[in-house]
Structure 1
């Protein structure tokens, strides 16, 4: 017990001694605390006070400066005897002038000139030309678009009363366009008018293909290539009902468009031939030719009224096309064949041209000719010989079509068969089981051997 108490006392004394020693170590530089604070105060004062150009004496420790001798004091007085023998007396004014010249910065002479604000327009001639071109293009677009709308409205205004007398529905009521009422605006130069509600007629489509007056490039090229011959075009397509006409194909067209129509239209190319000296044979005006399948039908259609209209509008009418086998444009590529036979329609198509200066009232007889031909086609019937010839021609065309399509079908079947054979071989190569692979190979060989054997017919003879 006594030993433990002595040990605790000694430990306590040692702890106190160590703490006092640490405290003394922390305050080892306590003698210099006043001097450091004084130096910090003086440093702050030197920072705040402006720097003096004249002599400056820095006092670091006041007590140490008092102990120094008088020889340690720096004097700022000039002693002439000290610099004796160095080339005479030193002129302080010259020294100051030299230092001022040395330290002086070079002067920049800035001349105040008026800036040149004049614009040189000849440097921007490309931009000006481009802007002028855009302005001209937009002006031409607006004027051309309004001109086409005006022509379409003038045509409809002159023909509307006649069309309403012959058709129950004229124009499209679902589309209400204030600029072109009744017309369907396909583009700025194409307008279409649909009419229906008449016996013997499924419907009639009037399509105005006007000059692209809104397109400046098209107008320029039209004047350069066609000149005054470039004109607006109207095409009247009448789809007849099934019992509205007999089986024949014919066309009355200008000599300029005869060759083009013969190449483009399938029915004319398959059924018709060009009639030699058609002007003398049918008393047609100069510049017209006839493409005919059956001569008696052509002679019956071209009567005195048709000839009168052709004579009066010889410069306007381009073609009168009547067909019961109309299927549209022909396929130009001979290698490609249609997989499905095209639908045949009975059509009456009249195409004529006009200009913006033409009085639309003068074109009404052409529309009257359309109604006249609809009625006449219903009344006309072919003779027995003509009917047989027409049927024979259609059978010939059908056989040619089947022959061409049969060849294409055979090629398609052979290609499909070859693809199936390749698939079977690939399946055989990908098979992992050897026994199954051998069985598949034997099966393919049996099929090939069976196909290579000649076909035999078995006959049963009963005695």
Structure 2
């Protein structure tokens, strides 16, 4: 019996061990996926086009795991190993070479080309350059007008000089010399494109003659357009500066009413002396003229039959005639005062219009002759005793009024200076730290105040 039991047990163990030994166990290697087989050729995948790559997506490689049969006891022994908390295995990091290899295998996405809209050439699309065309047109118009206007003013000035040159050469020793020019025979001196001057000298009793041409700004488009709204004409002014004592006390102005009224308001000598407006009926002057004079006696001396005849003949050419022995420029603005008596110069101004016409040359020469005629006549003219006394009285009253105004100003300045000195003395007295010295200063200040309060008495000596 014992032998039979031992044989059964051996058979049972043999039957249990034989199936297990018949199985083929694979070696469990955890680092097998990182091992590279030696001398195993790597096949490169065929290159596919982008369209085929998008249609056919590469299948994902499924990881196969080999399961090893184990017994129940073994399973119980290793049951704690199935929990995730016991084995938290980190995935291995890939090498950079493998990352680059995977990037090379990824197909490149090619985006379709986008073409930008390009405008047509300007020669086929002129409407796109309207602003530029307008700007170029304005510049071209301005340049053409500038060249034409400058040439026009130059020609008018040259024509005027040709008309007056013979007469000026006969009356003056030097024509065209202002004393500073390197070329005495230069003729007209151009200041701007619309302004010219001519200086003449070398005549008895006359310091000099300054001829000023002020023309329309034809070279400027804006000035030309402005002239359409307020029409103006080219003007020439003859300014005669006489020597001291060559002209008796005369202040007179005549010419166009509008310009005469404006001159009386703006010029200092006219607003001070020529304050009486005279009638024109008995002088046979045109109705469009105005006349202001200081002494009525001087009007008959200026307006003789020869002068009146020329004025009526060339009425449209005459703008202003201003004669004054007290000319000192423009009048001071409101609130301004003279610090000293202004310097006066006996002067005569003749302003004429330059109007292009058939007789413009004759009118220019005749009016220049009229100007020189009045200069010579008034140099020889002498006022009567009554007229001279009246003129001297007027000038003396003007000087006294000026001295009175300036005396009051000087008093105000002196009073302000005294007050400033008194404030300085009081300030020094307050800042003094020495009591003895402060007492002496206070005593001197009280003495000054007492002296200032005493009435001023005039001492009279009896002989």
What interval of TM-score do these two structures reach, taking the shorter chain for normalisation? 0.7 to 0.9
Paired residues of 1:144 and 1:214 also in contact (CA < 8 A)? yes
Q: Deviations over 1:154-208 (max 9, x none)?
A: 1112111110110011112753689x93223332222111111101211111111
Q: Which position in structure 1 is the counterpart of 2:308? A: 307
Q: Deviations over 1:24-79 (max 9, x none)?
A: xxxxxxxxxxxxxxxxxxxxxxxxxxxxxxxxxxxxxxxxxxxxxxx99668599x
Paired residues of 1:250 and 1:291 also in contact (CA < 8 A)? yes
Paired residues of 1:254 and 1:287 also in contact (CA < 8 A)? yes
Change (3 A) 1:157 1:111: same
* Equivalent-residue separation in structure 2 for 1:262 and 1:431 (angstroms): 61
Q: What secondary structure sits across from 1:144 in the alignment?
A: helix
Q: Which position in structure 2 is the counterpart of 1:151? A: 156
Q: What secondary structure sits across from 1:415 in the alignment?
A: helix
* Equivalent-residue separation in structure 2 for 1:457 and 1:175 (angstroms): 63
Establish whether residue 275 from structure 1 lines up as the match of residue 277 from structure 2: yes
Change (3 A) 1:183 1:439: farther
Paired residues of 1:210 and 1:233 also in contact (CA < 8 A)? yes
Q: CA deviation at 1:320?
A: 1.1
Q: Which position in structure 2 is the counterpart of 1:298? A: 299
Which of 95, 106, 109 in structure 1 is aligned with 2:109?
A: 106
Q: Which position in structure 2 is the counterpart of 1:448? A: 449
The aligned runs of 1:17-36 (5 Å cut-off) are none
Q: Which position in structure 1 is the counterpart of 2:96? A: none
Q: Which position in structure 2 is the counterpart of 1:343? A: 343
Q: Deviations over 1:117-146 (max 9, x none)?
A: 333554443343333323322332232222
Q: Deviations over 1:266-295 (max 9, x none)?
A: 12111123434x221211122112111111
Q: What secondary structure sits across from 2:315 in the alignment?
A: coil
Q: Which position in structure 2 is the counterpart of 1:175? A: 181
* Equivalent-residue separation in structure 2 for 1:75 and 1:328 (angstroms): 118
Q: Deviations over 1:285-344 (max 9, x none)?
A: 2211211111122112101111111112111211111111111111121x2111011111
Q: Which position in structure 1 is the counterpart of 2:82? A: none
Q: Which position in structure 2 is the counterpart of 1:243? A: 245
* Equivalent-residue separation in structure 1 for 2:119 and 2:143 (angstroms): 36
* Equivalent-residue separation in structure 1 for 2:388 and 2:115 (angstroms): 105
- TM-score of the pair, normalised by structure 1: 0.72
Q: How many residues align?
A: 373
* Equivalent-residue separation in structure 2 for 1:367 and 1:299 (angstroms): 21
Q: Which position in structure 2 is the counterpart of 1:212? A: 217
Q: Deviations over 1:384-440 (max 9, x none)?
A: 211111111111211221122222222222222222223333333444444333322
Paired residues of 1:172 and 1:183 also in contact (CA < 8 A)? no
Paired residues of 1:252 and 1:321 also in contact (CA < 8 A)? yes
Q: Which position in structure 1 is the counterpart of 2:380? A: 379
Deviates more, 1:117-126 or 1:392-401: 117-126
Paired residues of 1:239 and 1:348 also in contact (CA < 8 A)? yes
Deviates more, 1:393-402 or 1:102-111: 102-111
Establish whether residue 416 from structure 1 lines up as the match of residue 417 from structure 2: yes
Deviates more, 1:114-123 or 1:445-454: 114-123
Change (3 A) 1:76 1:247: closer
* Equivalent-residue separation in structure 2 for 1:93 and 1:378 (angstroms): 119
Establish whether residue 140 from structure 1 lines up as the match of residue 145 from structure 2: yes
Paired residues of 2:317 and 2:355 also in contact (CA < 8 A)? no
Change (3 A) 1:374 1:122: same
Q: Which position in structure 1 is the counterpart of 2:205? A: 200
Q: Which position in structure 1 is the counterpart of 2:86? A: none
- TM-score of the pair, normalised by structure 2: 0.72
Change (3 A) 1:255 1:98: closer
The aligned runs of 1:259-274 (5 Å cut-off) are 259-274=261-276
Q: What secondary structure sits across from 2:321 in the alignment?
A: strand
Paired residues of 1:175 and 1:184 also in contact (CA < 8 A)? no
* Equivalent-residue separation in structure 2 for 1:93 and 1:368 (angstroms): 111
Q: What secondary structure sits across from 1:186 in the alignment?
A: strand
Q: Which position in structure 2 is the counterpart of 1:324? A: 325
Q: CA deviation at 1:209?
A: 1.0
Q: Which position in structure 1 is the counterpart of 2:84? A: none
Q: What secondary structure sits across from 1:290 in the alignment?
A: strand
Deviates more, 1:430-439 or 1:449-458: 430-439
Q: Which position in structure 1 is the counterpart of 2:18? A: none
* Equivalent-residue separation in structure 1 for 2:238 and 2:39 (angstroms): 124
Superposed CA RMSD? 3.3
Q: CA deviation at 1:349?
A: 0.8
Q: CA deviation at 1:461?
A: 5.4
* Equivalent-residue separation in structure 1 for 2:461 and 2:352 (angstroms): 72
Q: What secondary structure sits across from 2:135 in the alignment?
A: helix
* Equivalent-residue separation in structure 1 for 2:393 and 2:340 (angstroms): 22
* Equivalent-residue separation in structure 2 for 1:75 and 1:242 (angstroms): 130
Q: Deviations over 1:70-99 (max 9, x none)?
A: x99668599xxxxxxxxxxxxx99999644
* Equivalent-residue separation in structure 2 for 1:73 and 1:234 (angstroms): 116
Gaps of 5+ in 2: 1-34, 61-104
Paired residues of 1:209 and 1:232 also in contact (CA < 8 A)? yes
Deviates more, 1:306-315 or 1:168-177: 168-177
